[in-house]
Amino acid sequence: MSKRRLRLEILEKMAQLATAGFGLVAALAWNSAIQDLFKKVNVFGSPDGLVVKFVYAAVVTIIVVFVTITIGRSINKLKDQLGIVPEGDQDKK
Query: Measured in Å, how far apart are the chain's first and last C-alpha atoms?
Result: 30
Residue 29: band (very low, low, confident or very high) from pLDDT cuts 50, 70, 90: very high
Per residue in 41-93, pLDDT tens?
777 667 677 877 888 888 888 988 998 899 889 888 888 888 887 666 655 55
pLDDT at 38: 78
Closest C-alpha among 87, 22, 3 to residue 30: 22
pTM equals: 0.58
* DSSP 8-class letter at 86: P
